[in-house]
């Protein structure tokens, strides 16, 4: 399949690891010139061939630095992947009554407002180039009981934002789609000190045993969790000319976790 992405330019946020890094690599393989933004530049991102930019996208200054770097290094942007996500305390397990205003603000800043800020800054150029955007949400936007309440609410808002942007800017040539992964093999789950490790500890099970049991616990139809490159492949397709009439869609990549129609 010819994707028609060669010589295009792209920004990928949250590019230091996991889905973001896999997306950077997949775009580079298609001949795209990529700027990878992350709060911390990982060795993997630095060695990827992308232009690495350290930026805190929860701040206007961080977004300004990102756009300035994109103009200087890429000469403009055709494609935007809003992948940055997580939260201020992804290593903690909190219910609604344990989540204070500062934590709510932190989750909204990372998962929603960062995308709002970056998109607002990049969109004028995307309109000129008739570009495309993919926002990375989460299956938690549809299964809110499966994660921290503030994270799930922020991701649901992000999914709704994508639909609104698609409606407003589709007639002007910019496509906007959303990808909502389920459990993906990233540090969030595999790091013993991260969210997965805390869930395992709370359940009183060994972390390795917990990881092995995720497909059964989450009723994943395929019997395995998703790999980052599988999500990246979908993102790249949605950015490409092969998906030229797809906009306003939300694609779930969860191995069959979501059972509803």
The answer to whether the Cα torsion of 229, 136, 51, 72 is positive or negative is positive
What is the distance, to the nearest Å, from the Cα of residue 80 to the centroid of all Cα atoms in its chain? 11
Q: How far apart are CA 154 and CA 62, in angstroms?
A: 20
3-state secondary structure of 53: strand
Q: Judge contact between 84 and 114, C-beta under 8 A.
A: yes
3-state secondary structure of 136: strand
Question: Measured between alpha carbons, how far is residue 105 from residues 84, 99, 195, 215 in Å?
Answer: 15, 10, 19, 31
Q: Which of 139, 147, 142 has its CA nearest to residue 226?
A: 139
Give the catalytic positions in this structure.
151
Q: Judge contact between 148 and 93, C-beta under 8 A.
A: yes
Ramachandran angles phi, psi of 112, nearest 5°: -120, -60
CB-count burial class (<10 Å; 0-12, 13-18, 19+) for 106: buried
């Amino acid at each position: 399949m010819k994707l028609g992405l060669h010589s295009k330019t792209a920004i990928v946020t949250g590019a230091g690891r996991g889905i973001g890094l896999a997306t950077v690599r997949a775009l580079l393989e298609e001949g795209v010139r990529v700027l990878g933004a992350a709060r911390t530049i990982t060795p993997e991102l630095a060695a990827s061939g992308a232009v690495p930019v350290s930026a805190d996208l929860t701040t206007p200054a961080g977004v300004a630095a990102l756009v300035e770097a994109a103009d200087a290094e890429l000469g403009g942007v055709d494609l935007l992947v809003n992948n940055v996500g997580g939260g201020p305390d992804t290593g903690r397990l909190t219910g609604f009554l344990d989540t204070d205003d500062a934590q709510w603000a932190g989750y909204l800043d990372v998962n929603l407002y960062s995308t709002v800020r970056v998109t607002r800054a990049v969109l004028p150029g995307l309109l000129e180039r008739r570009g495309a955007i993919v926002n990375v949400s989460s299956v938690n936007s549809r299964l809110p009981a499966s994660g921290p309440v503030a994270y799930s609410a922020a991701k649901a808002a992000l999914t709704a934002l994508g639909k609104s942007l698609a409606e407003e800017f589709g007639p002007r040539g910019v496509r906007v789609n959303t990808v909502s992964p389920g459990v993906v093999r990233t540090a969030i789950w595999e790091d013993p000190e991260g969210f997965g490790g805390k869930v395992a500890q709370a359940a009183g099970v060994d972390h390795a045993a917990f990881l092995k049991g995720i497909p059964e616990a989450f009723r994943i139809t395929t019997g395995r969790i998703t790999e980052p490159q599988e999500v990246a492949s979908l993102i790249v397709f949605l950015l490409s000319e092969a998906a030229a009439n797809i906009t306003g869609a939300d694609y779930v990549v969860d191995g069959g976790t979501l059972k509803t129609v």
